Amino acid sequence: MTVISTASADSFIDREAERYPFYLVHGPDEGLTHERSRAIARKVFGGDQDPLNLLRLDGDLVAREPGALVDEAYAISMFGGRRVIWIDAQRQDLLRAVSPLFARPPHNCTVIVRAGQLRKDSALRQAFEKLTNGASVECYSDEQASLARLLDSEAEAARIAIAPDARTALLSLLGADRETTRGEIAKLMLYALGKARIEVEDLEAIVSGAAPSKLERVIDRSLAGDLRGAAASAAQFFNEEGGEGEQLMARLIAQLMLLHRLRLEMDRSQPADASRLPSFVKLPPSARRTLSRQSEAWTSEAIARRLPAIQAASANVRARPRLTRLLATRVLWALAQSAAKGHGPST
């Protein structure tokens, strides 16, 4: 029985991802389940990843044709090397499909099932947790209360105060992994050594995630109507970071939904001042500036009209892996053009 808690998941993957042929990566944080599934695949391949040896399958297909998974798992790689089959469960019950593989594990093949939040009595989860040659990897965010205690304890030990807005922003950035959280806090305390108080500016200088990533930049520029900037940022995201279209679309939809909530709150506010709205003040500083820019280019109605089409495009990106970059880039361009034409409060 191998159950990997969310706090130890990253270190486990780094040390032992090649050890087991079966992985269930599950939890409410979809971004984290994607990130850890990808990390397992990369560790299995090592530095010699052949894209032909990575097979992505939708849970709908596997549930409908369980025999297809068995055939793929026992197939021999045409060019040699270890194979990885990555299944996005999509709330499907895949136990019937994976059970034959548990009984006779495939040679030189790792099966990763990425799922959402599963109850403890879920048949799929229980089956993976009983395996001696598999691991159930949890993906939960750390609780805010325990993070706050840890942060306050470390700040007290370092004899450094934290400004209230900096503390709120820092807590919003931490929690995906306890080991990483400790590392980020220690890095911040070392950076602030000799200062009386940590301010928001210190976070953006040193804490991972406090400053916008290339993924966030391309989405920001697209939603702000900067077509040229969105194109340049998209090229950096795909070429320099090896970014994936599926990851970009998931983050884009999440940002649009957040922007939609903010615009609805602004519509109800008198005056419509984003800086005083509940969903805004809880965000990190860089995210506040980004949303403030984007809220000037979009109305709640314009976002609501486009969300269904964006969600359909995201499904198309998942279904056509060879065209993910092209399809995702087209969506960005279309949004940038719409924002540039003006969908702000005055329209």
pLDDT of residue 272: 46
CA distance 175 to 118: 20
pLDDT of residue 37: 92
144-206 and 3-138 share a CATH fold: no
Mean pLDDT of 228-257: 83
* The domain made up of 144-206 is a member of CATH 1.10.10: no
* The domain made up of 3-138 is a member of CATH 3.40.50.620: no
Where exactly are the structural domains of the chain? 3-138, 144-206, 214-341
pLDDT in tens, 169-205: 787 777 655 556 777 788 788 888 888 899 877 876 6
Higher-confidence position of 177 and 321:
321
pLDDT of residue 347: 34
